[in-house]
């Protein structure tokens, strides 16, 4: 007998895949914090890779928003920020994956935005509180279609973001503090990575605030474009 539910269950969260009719069903959304030196410095928290390990936060899969959308300017913030990021799409299970084997669980990549209530994130950070209200924001995990690149490790490529046509972020993926292999190796010590997991790899310097009506466009060389229009206040 088919399972019955008290109310309709939430739909499967998924992304289109370039060149395929099938969609990429999304499991978890992981985000690497402070993974470009110049961004860590602008956040007032420089990173010493020799003495530190990467850190992560997560967002609910329900925050995933397909590139091209118009989403409301969120409630309870006066400092809503863009962060342009390269996104990894995991295609195979992986636990305690060695860096040299990391390519094996990569299905592909996407271009993403880690939209952030910066005022609430920094207030939480400075009080030692969780970042959820600053980061796990409705509609805040913006993502392009997934580009199949199975087994490929992206080591370099321009990463750029503009607001209303004006360039705000311009860096290169070769500036990642912890690279693709190192992120998979480290994160998979804590989680059994699964097909459908997305890993946002961090943002370069130049983050900033948006206003209702702003149009954000970004790209990662060799992957593709991402866009978001900020709608009226929620
Ligand atoms: Mn980020």
| pLDDT, tens digit (0-9, with 9 covering 90-100), for 14-66 | 999 999 999 999 999 999 999 999 999 999 999 999 999 999 999 999 999 99
The pLDDT-based confidence of 153 (bands split at 50, 70, 90) is very high
Question: Residues whose CB is under 5 A from ligand 1 (ion)?
Answer: 83, 114, 203
* Span from the CA of 69 to the centroid of ligand 1 (angstroms): 19
Distance 4 CA to ligand 1 centre (A): 38
Q: Which residues contact 228 (CB under 8 A, 6 or more apart)?
A: 65, 67, 68, 69, 70, 71, 82, 113, 115, 142, 215, 216
Give the residue-averaged pLDDT of 4-12.
Answer: 94
pLDDT surpassing 90 at residue 86? yes
Does the pLDDT value for residue 76 go beyond 70?
yes
Does residue 101 fall inside a structural domain? yes
- Angle at CA 120, nearest 5°, toward 141 and 160? 45
| More confident site: 2 or 15 | 15
Q: Considering its fold, how many domains does the chain have in total?
A: 1
Residue 181: give the domain boundaries. 23-233
Looking at residue 1, what is its pLDDT?
65
Q: What is the CATH number of the domain that holds 60?
A: 3.90.850.10
Query: What is the rounded CA–CA span in Å between residue 64 and residue 109?
Result: 15
Mean pLDDT of 119-126: 97
Flag the least confident range among 1-10, 33-42, 146-155, 210-219: 1-10
Whether this prediction's pTM lies above 0.85 is answered by yes
Q: Is residue 11 part of a domain?
A: no
List of residues 6+ apart from 153 with CB closer than 8 A? 102, 103, 106, 179, 180, 181
Domain annotation covers residue 17: no
Q: Is residue 1 part of a domain?
A: no
In a domain, residue 12? The reply is no
Quick one: average pLDDT of 105-124? 98
Ligand 1 geometric centre to CA of 186 (Å): 17
* Model pLDDT for residues 197-213, shown as the tens digit of each residue: 999 999 999 999 999 99
* Residue 7 included in any domain: no
148 alpha carbon to ligand 1 midpoint, in Å?
22
Chain mean pLDDT for the chain? 97
Instruction: Measure the CA–CA gap between 117 and 112, rounded to whole angstroms.
Output: 16
């Amino acid at each position: 007998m088919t399972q019955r539910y008290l109310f309709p269950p939430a739909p499967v969260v998924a992304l289109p895949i370039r060149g395929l009719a099938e969609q990429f069903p999304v499991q978890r959304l992981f985000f690497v914090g402070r993974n470009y030196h110049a961004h860590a410095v602008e956040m007032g928290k420089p990173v010493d890779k020799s003495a530190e390990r990467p850190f992560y936060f997560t967002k609910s899969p329900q925050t995933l928003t397909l590139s091209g959308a118009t989403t409301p300017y969120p409630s309870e913030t006066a400092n809503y920020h863009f962060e342009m990021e390269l996104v990894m799409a995991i295609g195979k299970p992986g636990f305690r994956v060695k860096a040299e084997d990391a390519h094996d669980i990569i299905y592909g990549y996407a271009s993403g935005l880690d939209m952030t209530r910066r005022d609430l994130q920094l207030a939480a950070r400075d009080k030692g509180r969780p970042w959820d209200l600053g980061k796990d924001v409705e509609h805040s995990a913006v993502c392009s279609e997934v580009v199949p690149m199975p087994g490929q490790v992206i080591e370099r490529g321009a990463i750029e973001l503009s607001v209303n046509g004006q360039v705000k972020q311009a860096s290169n993926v070769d500036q990642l503090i912890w690279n693709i292999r190192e992120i998979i190796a480290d994160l998979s010590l804590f989680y059994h990575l699964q097909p459908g997991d997305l890993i946002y790899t961090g943002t370069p310097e130049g983050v900033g605030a948006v206003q209702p009506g702003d149009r954000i466009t970004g790209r990662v060389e060799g992957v593709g474009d991402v866009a978001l229009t900020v709608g009226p206040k929620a």
